[in-house]
A and B are shown apart, each in its own frame.
Chain A
Amino acid sequence: MAIHERLSGNEAIALCLKQINPDVMCAFPITPSTEIPQYFSNYVSDGLVDTEFVAVESEHSAMSGCIGAEAAGARCVTATSSCGLALMWEMLYVAASMRLPITLACVNRALSGPININNDHSDSMGARDSGWIQIYAENNQEAYDHMCCAMRIGENPEVMLPVMICQDGFITSHAIENIELLEDDVVKKYVGEYKPEQYLLKHENPVAAGPYDIQPYYMEHKYQQAVAMKQSYDVIRKVFKEFGEISGRSYDLIEEYRMEDAETAIVIIGSSAGTAKAAIDEMRSEGRKAGLVKIRVFRPFPAEDIAKALSGCKAVAVMDKADSFNAQTGPVYAETCAALFGKENAPKMINYIYGLGGRDVSTGTIKEVFAALDEIVTTGVTGETYRHIGVRGL
């Protein structure tokens, strides 16, 4: 029987980790993810989990500790945000290249500077090429559900990659909402045990992990990573489907909302999808054919799914909660355009940089975007594609 609760996103993640009972957590506090290791260390102190909690001196050390412990054969978790993730940067790549399925709860927050503690996606978008699988939640329920799936995805022998479970700072991490939880034993059974084939503490067969890789070998190992990421598409789909069977909540790489006959649509990630759905419902009641594609899994990038979902649209706006400062586009727009390049009847595409540093995103914001799309459909003129919304003076 499902358990009805009301929890913040951080509480949901900490509780899920308690149910999973990982071997090691190495973590350093940073707003807004601090509560995750804080709540979890309470579980450790209260003897509710068997986890070794390592209170490290920095996020670089947190990820380094996770790498060492995961290579040793332990299931490791950590949590961080913003500059904490940035400080992990070097080690994120090491974790992925060593094929260590570490799980990281990322509570998305703007990167400094200017210093700001509120939500946008610049932290995890910056880490998008580090070789981690990235799954983004719209709300606390999805954050919990994604965390339940993380290890089954990452630890799959066809994948063996670290997984980042992302949720929006404060909006999701601190807002308390209704949530449906699974029983401890159901989660434990579903997640299973981590049984790597080779690991440092395998007494009968000592190994060396993460050795120096010279020119004749490095590129083959990077190609192995590329293949693993490609193979993860099907593994993620399968894990989400199996999760649906135990929870009643089924997910896919993307979520299509009212896309059946949509003429205009937005592509969006995270909590703002909820706001956009409300705006779309209002516009639909006025007879406007508006829809939404929410990217749940950003790594691997679900290019085929997105191209298919947008194929019937006339104009599409891709929303980026992070800027690339290439004077052209945010990261999601660039990859969405790449997904649609060369496709027949591809829609006209524009990009909006929005919600940086916690800038409020209302249904009004979303309607403004759709008004711009309607104008493109009416006039046939796309105009400037690199746009910002919510900035005073524009």
Chain B
Amino acid sequence: MVLKYTPAAEINEQSKWYEMSPGGMICEPGTSRLTKTGEWRTTTPVFIADKCKHCLLCVPVCPDGAIRVKDGKRGEFDLEYCKGCGICYKVCPFDAIEFGGDK
């Protein structure tokens, strides 16, 4: 038999060995959307909009793209993907991100 390259969205923990792509190859781009890393979060960052100068230093350091930018301004955290690593809190020069509260 020849194994098929299966889209990542069709592979899950119930997939049989012959339903999975050979070598675990991920056959399409953008599949990180499928993994809701927000489920991993134990600490939630809080965006303080009043203090934010929209320098956008927090945006590229987010490992999960959980800080969306629109018209040159950052918005709220996308908590479906924010896994609560706190890097944005560390990098913000204006104390516009609080980190340490409960989920």
Contact = CB atoms under 8 A, between A and B. Distances in A.
Interface stretch (B20-28, B66-74, B86-94): B20-28
Tell me the interface secondary structure of chain A in the complex.
loop
Contact of A216 (B13, B16, B22, B23): B13
Contacts of B25: 98-99, 198, 207-211
Interface in A181-221: 197-198, 205-211, 213, 216-217, 220-221
Interface stretch (B1-9, B36-44, B54-62): B1-9
A224 interface: yes
A380 interface: no
A178 interface: no
A242 interface: no
A206 B29 CA distance: 6
Counting from the closest, the 5 A-B pairs by CB-CB distance are A99-B23, A220-B17, A208-B26, A216-B13, A157-B2
B76 to A, nearest CB: 29
Given A220-B16, A220-B17, A223-B17, A211 B24 contact: yes
Contact of A197 (B1, B5, B18): B5
A227 interface: yes
8 contacts: A100-B23, A197-B5, A198-B25, A209-B23, A211-B25, A220-B16, A224-B18, A224-B22
Contacts of B23: 97-100, 160, 209-210, 221, 224
Contacts of A216: 13
A213 B24 contact: yes
Most chain B Cβ neighbours within 10 Å, of A98, A158, A197, A205: A197
Contacts of B3: 224
Contacts of A211: 24-26
Contact of B1 (A99, A213, A220, A231): A231
A239 B2 CA distance: 17
A227 B22 contact: no
A160 B20 CA distance: 15
B16 to A, nearest CB: 7
A97 B21 CA distance: 12
A178 B87 CA distance: 68
A231 B3 CA distance: 12
Contacts of A198: 5, 25, 27
Nearest to B32: A208
Contacts of A206: 28-29
Contacts, number: 63
A97 B23 CA distance: 6
Interface of A: 97-100, 157-158, 160, 197-198, 205-211, 213, 216-217, 220-221, 223-224, 227, 231
B22 A99 contact: yes
A217 B24 contact: yes
B32 to A, nearest CB: 10
B93 to A, nearest CB: 34
A213 B27 CA distance: 15
A94 to B, nearest CB: 10
A97 to B, nearest CB: 6
Contacts of B27: 198, 205, 207
Nearest to A98: B23
B17 A207 contact: no
A217 B20 contact: yes
Nearest to B13: A216
A210 B2 contact: no
B22 A207 contact: no
B39 to A, nearest CB: 14
Contact of A224 (B5, B11, B20): B20
Given A207-B25, A207-B26, A209-B25, A221 B1 contact: no
B17 to A, nearest CB: 4
Contacts of B2: 157-158
B50 to A, nearest CB: 40
B28 A207 contact: yes
A224 B17 contact: yes
Contacts of A158: 1-2
Contacts of B22: 99, 160, 224
Given A197-B5, A198-B5, A221 B20 contact: yes
Contact of A220 (B5, B15, B28, B31): B15
Contacts of B26: 207-209, 211
Nearest to A231: B1
Contacts of A227: 1, 17
Contacts of A98: 23-25
Nearest to B16: A220
